[in-house]
A and B are shown apart, each in its own frame.
Chain A
């Protein structure tokens, strides 16, 4: 039990996908200008990431390995991810029209979010079993959500702040992200 907890903490804080592994930076910069859409994006990504991680593991374990088709891994994972994203898009459109509008193009772009494929592939290379894969996917999603929401809260404040002219817009966002990454380095060594 404790090893699962350690795995979760390690993926959320120590090996955070955005700030330590630098995966999934596109939505991190793109959807973080408003807190509300950041929360929506986090929930959508959490759903997709966890489900894609589990499904990819199942596809790899029960379809690719028995037939020795390891070389089809990337292709079939992308297929799985695309299906999960499409499914999520239908779900969001049905349940919340304003969230669907706020997320806009970033919702289909979860397909190309490298964190999603990254989690699926890292599960294989680190030889996780089923539960570990699920926890790894969920942990990565929680880490992503945490960082995205914190970052968007900061950017909302920055929007009203008197930032010097050369730093406005993208520049101050990059600097903020860098400082956050530095702060997350403080978690190194928390879990071996």
Chain B
């Protein structure tokens, strides 16, 4: 009888000790929020353009953490998509709306038609448009991410999205990509 009593006491004490230990550990290693969302958000270009269908980069990062597709960020391009795939632990996939996005586009202001209303300057998330009130504006091509946000506010429709001409300087050598043939497989184990 006492043997059983000792056994029960011993196991109870052991469990209690471990419980206290885990309780302290849970308090000490507490994770606030979802760290994955922060890491994903840091990879996004922060243009807040909304082309992914979410109202900004943070909501899109939260959506990726919950299983949203990673290929919805045109300003980031395929480089961002690959980093996102790596971080979220999913397979990289080509950007959505491939035809249009594959050719990188940037904004171009037809300067003789511009009335200097500054509306596009306010819309630009990356401050790539230079200009002032009643003076002609222009786009700094190096900074433009091609996010389309300046096209809609323009009252005289003088902004075009033009494909970037490929030159020796911006040619994509695809040095990091290894061509892999995808085999169709019924069971992905």
Contact = CB atoms under 8 A, between A and B. Distances in A.
Interface of A: 33, 37, 59, 63, 67-69, 72, 75-76, 79-80, 83, 86-87, 90-91, 93-94, 97-98, 100-102, 160, 162-163, 168-170, 173
11 contacts: A59-B14, A67-B6, A72-B10, A76-B11, A83-B21, A87-B25, A91-B29, A93-B31, A94-B30, A168-B185, A169-B189
B180 A101 contact: no
Contacts of A97: 34-36, 39
Which of B11, B14, B186 has most chain A Cβ within 10 Å? B14
Contacts of B181: 160
Contact of B14 (A76, A87, A94, A163): A76
B143 interface: no
A170 B187 contact: yes
Q: For chain B, which range describes its interface: under 10, 10 to 19, 20 to 34, or 35 or more residues?
A: 20 to 34
B14 A79 contact: yes
B188 interface: yes
Contacts of A75: 11
Contacts of B79: none
B187 A63 contact: no
A86 B18 CA distance: 11
Nearest to B9: A67
Nearest to B65: A101
Contacts of A98: 36, 39, 87-89
Nearest to B35: A97
A69 B6 contact: yes
Q: What are the 6 A-B residue pairs with the smallest beta carbon separation, nearest first?
A: A97-B35, A169-B189, A97-B36, A94-B29, A83-B18, A90-B29
B15 A79 contact: yes
A93 B36 CA distance: 10
Q: Mostly helix, strand, loop or mixed at chain B's interface?
A: helix
A69 B29 CA distance: 35
Interface in B20-45: 21-22, 25-26, 29-31, 34-36, 39
Contact of A87 (B3, B7, B22, B189): B22
B183 interface: yes
B26 A90 contact: yes
Given A69-B10, A90-B29, 6 more contacts: A33-B189, A67-B10, A80-B18, A94-B29, A170-B187, A173-B189
Contacts of B88: 98, 101
Contacts of A163: 183
B187 A168 contact: yes
Contacts of A37: 89
A90 B6 contact: no
